[in-house]
Structure 1
Amino acid sequence: MTEHFEIVPMKTDEEMDGKAFVHWKSWQETYTGLMPQAYVDALTLEQAASWAHRWPQNTLVLKKGDKVLGFSCFSTSDDSGSDQTGEVIALYVLGDYQGRGLGLELMKATMDRLADKREVILWVLRGNEKAIRFYQRYGFRFDKTERTKAFGTELRMVLER
């Protein structure tokens, strides 16, 4: 990262509001055309803000000054409750800031928080090729597990350590 950015645990109301904006804006940028528009439109800025304020734990924000440009959410266990597996629940960077290595730095910081995990999983929407390429470059691989949601099919990717 050539400019000055910082990645910190989300704590303040301003960071929560910034995370909410990134979540909402990235949702619009990423999923329009990949899932039914009704699902894209269903996530409002108000809903994203409610979630950010209700569940601030295990969230990192990527900031330049006071502006939140990206965030990640993670869990220290997977769906089965295994304490050997962590999960990247979400990782978003505003479109205008993609391609600068910020997502990579955010992923590294997230993985540092999951350093004691033998493996890390994440779910990616089928057809989200940009995200798939990003995760594959980081070392994630498909494990042939899928789950179908109302908005589309998600594919599980795993990084073994």
Structure 2
Amino acid sequence: MNGLKIEKLKEWNEEILERLVQIYMQGYDGLREYGGEGVGYARRYLSWYLKKMRDGFFVAKIGDNIVGFAVCARDWYHKFLGERVGYIGELVVDKEYQGHHVGGALMEACLDYLKGCKKIALEVGVKNENAIRFYERWGFKKVGTEGKWVVMVREV
């Protein structure tokens, strides 16, 4: 997409948080069972990610408009796998920009950030078929389920 840039989240303020919450809520529209209990939850959840994974918090921008984000960590203990792995906690794109390579650009940023990790893991909702197919195109394979989540791993 013309004018798309991916960058680490540089600042955190109320306006940026509101935009990220808006994208998050849109991303889970129709899949609410995976996206928490509403705006208050989303605000707390994204603030928690900022504290835990600030160095791996990426935003996709067109001009000054944030159109998606991804959050990842290089050294994350994954309970289901029982080991430390690279981890992608969220990858969400504004509905208006889905299908325009924004998700792919965010995934590239995550994979670049996670270089050196032998395994990269993520979870995706069992019913989120579009996201599962997206991750499979990037080399992630289903390794199990944990409740309503499919655990996927990409081995490097």
Q: In structure 1, how many angstroms separate the alpha carbons of the residues matched to 2:49 and 2:76? A: 21
Q: In structure 1, how many angstroms separate the alpha carbons of the residues matched to 2:49 and 2:121? A: 22
Question: Could you list the per-position Cα deviations for residues 14-52 of structure 1 after superposition, in whole angstroms to 9, with x for gaps in the alignment?
Answer: 6x7435423x23443343443449944254665467447
Matched, 1:91 2:91: yes
Residues 1:133 and 1:19: Cα distance change in structure 2 (over 3 Å): farther
1:54-93 equivalent positions in 2, closer than 5 A: 54=51, 56-80=54-78, 82=83, 85-93=85-93
Alpha-carbon RMSD: 2.7
Q: In structure 2, how many angstroms separate the alpha carbons of the residues matched to 1:57 and 1:109? A: 12
Question: Could you list the per-position Cα deviations for residues 58-106 of structure 1 after superposition, in whole angstroms to 9, with x for gaps in the alignment?
Answer: 20111111111111100112325855x2000110110000101110011
Q: In structure 2, how many angstroms separate the alpha carbons of the residues matched to 1:130 and 1:111? A: 20
List, as ranges, runs of 4+ consecutive aligned residues in structure 1 with deviation greater than 6 Å: none
> % of aligned pairs identical?
28
SS class of match (2:55): coil
Report the number of matched residues. 152
Residue number in structure 2 paired with 1:4: 3
For 2:65, give the aligned amino acid. K
SS class of match (1:57): helix
Contact 1:21 1:48 in 2 (8 A): no
Q: In structure 1, how many angstroms separate the alpha carbons of the residues matched to 2:63 and 2:39? A: 30
TM-score, with normalisation over the residues of structure 1?
0.79
Q: In structure 1, how many angstroms separate the alpha carbons of the residues matched to 2:118 and 2:18? A: 30
Residues 1:123 and 1:88: Cα distance change in structure 2 (over 3 Å): same
Residues 1:90 and 1:4: Cα distance change in structure 2 (over 3 Å): same
For 2:118, give the aligned amino acid. R
